[in-house]
């Protein structure tokens, strides 16, 4: 089977994939969820003109010149409007957020006044309309403010609350089962015997799922035998997860049994082997499900960097599409190359690179050794630098394309 280009592989992963069904959640549970419909304001904010400062509500014509003495006829606090009207030569004491009384169009800040009993001396002139927040200056009833497909931030929740929404319609969160495999793997904290290594992939993959808004079921580490692999695959199927993410065992060695176990369970294989470095033995397929849409299976390599890069490139967009997000695919940015690079072969390279600020933009410097087992350079990297298949040699200072890590 020839190597599949990265773009075609991603297109196959995302093909015929619809957003998951919607549900209503309270605002306090909506952080990181994806809106299922557009949100328009249910009210105007502020509903009336209000003071932006502590001071005195007056007629602008009365304070065009100063000093001037005005009679204080009342007081306005937030939530406590003044029933009367401000006439010529009059003022109302007002506090931030207080509703502007009828007749007043300006607020003189208290620092520019002196109080004398029931009179106030305005010491500096103030133009009409100063220190007043007009009705609807933030938004008006009916304004479309939050769009379908948006992943909600903390600021969005503030806005939705101000728009008067106690609950929001969002897409269900994708459920991902993470399965590691390999006789050589032990959990962190254990005592290693000769030939054993610490299992690390699952922690990064699970964290990536959560950072993209998904839920994780940890299926643990399967040993290199068909019975154990099959039992854990069946657990994922019985749980009706949306994605089964496997790590390791997808290559062609005698102990690489993942693909065999999946096919025995009825996997419809979409592709295996991508023109990608790191990550060539990347696999995707689907299990049919009655009335629920297909369960996706992504099989990433066992080498730690390969597993993460494949998840970053394929799993994250799949979670976003299932979540209903509008920004499914990451958009490469441009940077300045910080190290000479040789010409490339038939595979696309996604090089770990550090990022630093430069006079003409960010500088992306590939780490010197790109071995797919080295995790320390991955942790230091700020991005993946993209080298297309058969790209010519590149020099320091050339423009390049990068995909930034979230943080």
DSSP-derived secondary structure letter, 315: I
State the helix-helix crossing angle for 316-323 and 6-14, rounded to 10 degrees: 30
Q: Pick from 323, 342, 375: which residue ends a domain?
A: 323
Range of the domain at 112: 50-133
Identify whether 208 is part of a domain.
Answer: yes
Partners of 221 in beta bridges: 180
Same domain, 150 and 285: no
Residue at 99 is within a domain: yes
For residue 207, count CB atoms less than 10 angstroms from its CB and return exposed for 0-12, middle for 13-18, buried for 19 or more: exposed
Which tokens is 112 given? Answer: 């520019």
Distance CA 401, CA 384 (A): 9
Cα separation, 273 vs 259, in Å, equals 12
Alpha-carbon radius of gyration of the chain? 31
**Could you tell me which of 377, 321, 350 has the C-alpha nearest to residue 13?**
321
Query: CA 405, CA 276: separation in Å to the nearest integer?
Result: 18
Question: Three-class SS of residue 91?
Answer: strand
Q: Do 251 and 127 belong together in one domain?
A: no
Asked if residue 385 and residue 374 are part of one domain, the reply reads: yes
* Judgement on whether residues 198 and 123 belong to the same structural domain of the protein: no
Cα separation, 151 vs 157, whole angstroms: 11
Return phi, psi of residue 344, to 5°.
Answer: -100, 165
Report d(CA 40, CA 147) in Å as an integer: 9
Closest CA to 294 of 13, 34, 4: 13
End-to-end Cα spacing for the chain: 37
CA distance 379 to 198: 17
The predicted pLDDT at position 1 comes to 62
The phi and psi torsions of 340 (rounded to 5 degrees) equal -60, 145
Helices (H) and strands (E) in the chain, counts: 8, 26
CA separation for the pair 393, 342 (Å, rounded)? 4
pLDDT of residue 291: 76
Is 1 part of any domain?
no
Contact 26/331 with Cβ under 8 angstroms? no
259 within 8 A of 290, measured Cβ to Cβ: no
From 323, 348, 365, give the residue that closes a domain. 323
User: 72 and 29, same structural domain?
Assistant: no
CATH number of residue 265's parent domain: 3.40.980.10
Same domain for 298 and 204, yes or no, is: yes
Q: What share of the chain is helix, strand, coil (3-state, %, to 5)?
A: 20, 35, 45
Residues whose CB falls within 8 Å of the CB of residue 287, separated by 6 or more in sequence, listed in order: 237, 244, 265, 266, 267, 268, 294, 295, 297
Shared-domain flag, residues 27 and 150:
yes
Placement of tokens 């390999």 in the chain? 182
Number of compact structural domains in the chain: 4
CA-CA distance, 318 to 296, in Å (whole number)? 9
pLDDT of the residue at 2:
79
CA–CA gap between residue 144 and residue 98 (Å, rounded): 27
- Can you give the pLDDT at residue 293? 84
Could you list the mean pLDDT of each consecutive 10-residue stretch along the chain, which spans 407 residues? 91 96 98 98 98 98 97 96 96 98 98 97 97 98 98 98 98 98 93 94 97 97 94 96 91 71 94 95 93 91 96 98 97 97 97 96 96 95 97 97 92
**DSSP for 18-34?**
PPPPEEEEEGGG-TT-B
Within this chain, do residues 255 and 204 fall inside the same structural domain, yes or no?
Answer: yes
The structure tokens 């808004």 sit at 213
Domain CATH code at residue 110: 2.170.190.11
The first and second tokens of residue 119, run together, are 């009179």
pLDDT in tens, 369-397: 999 999 999 999 999 999 999 999 999 99
Minimal CA–CA distance to 104: which of 116, 89, 117, 118?
A: 89
Same domain membership, residue 301 and residue 229: yes
**Same domain for 29 and 57:** no
Quick check: is 328 in a domain?
no
Report the CATH number at residue 41: 3.90.105.10
Q: How many CA atoms lie within 13 A of 210 on its CB side?
A: 9
Q: Report yes or no on 88 lying in a domain.
A: yes
Return the sign of the alpha-carbon dihedral for residues 320, 321, 324, 330: positive
Q: Note whether 300 and 208 are same-domain residues.
A: yes
223 within domain boundaries: yes
In terms of domains, do 142 and 32 share one? yes
What is the CATH number for 400? 2.40.340.10
């Amino acid at each position: 089977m020839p190597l599949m280009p990265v773009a075609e592989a991603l297109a196959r992963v995302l093909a015929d994939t619809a957003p998951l069904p919607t549900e209503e959640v309270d605002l306090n549970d909506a952080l990181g969820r994806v809106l299922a419909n557009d949100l328009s304001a249910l009210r105007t904010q502020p509903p009336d003109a209000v003071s932006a400062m502590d001071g005195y509500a007056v007629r602008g014509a009365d304070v065009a010149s100063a000093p001037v003495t005005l009679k204080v006829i009342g007081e306005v606090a937030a939530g406590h409007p003044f029933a009367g009207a401000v006439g010529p030569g009059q003022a109302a004491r007002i506090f931030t957020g207080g509703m502007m009384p009828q007749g007043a169009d300006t607020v003189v800040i208290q620092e520019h006044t002196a109080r004398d009993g029931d009179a106030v001396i305005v010491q500096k002139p103030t133009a009409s309309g100063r220190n007043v927040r007009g009705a609807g200056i933030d938004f008006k009833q009916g304004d479309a403010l939050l769009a379908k497909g948006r992943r909600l931030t903390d600021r969005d929740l503030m806005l939705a609350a101000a728009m008067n929404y106690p609950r929001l319609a969002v897409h269900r969160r994708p459920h991902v089962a993470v399965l590691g495999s390999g006789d050589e793997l032990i959990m962190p904290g254990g005592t290693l015997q000769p030939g054993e290594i610490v299992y690390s992939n699952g922690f990064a993959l699970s964290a990536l799922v959560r950072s993209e808004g998904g839920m994780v079921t940890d299926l643990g580490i399967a040993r290199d035998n068909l019975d154990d692999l099959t039992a854990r695959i069946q657990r994922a199927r019985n749980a009706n997860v949306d994605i089964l993410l496997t790590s390791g065992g997808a290559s062609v060695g005698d102990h690489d049994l993942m693909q065999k176990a999946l096919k025995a369970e009825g996997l419809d294989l979409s592709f295996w082997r991508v023109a990608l470095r790191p990550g060539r033995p990347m696999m995707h397929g689907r299990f049919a499900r009655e009335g629920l849409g297909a369960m996706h299976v992504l099989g990433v390599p066992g080498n730690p960097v390969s597993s993460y890069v494949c998840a970053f490139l394929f799993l994250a967009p799949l979670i976003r599409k299932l979540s209903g997000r509008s920004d499914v695919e990451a958009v490469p940015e441009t940077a300045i190359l910080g190290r000479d690079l040789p010409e490339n072969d038939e595979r696309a390279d996604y090089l770990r690179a550090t990022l630093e600020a430069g006079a003409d933009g960010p500088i992306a410097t590939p780490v010197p050794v790109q071995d797919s087992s080295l995790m320390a350079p991955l942790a230091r990297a700020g991005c993946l630098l993209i080298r297309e298949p058969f790209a010519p040699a590149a020099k320091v200072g050339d423009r390049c394309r990068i995909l930034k890590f979230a943080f």
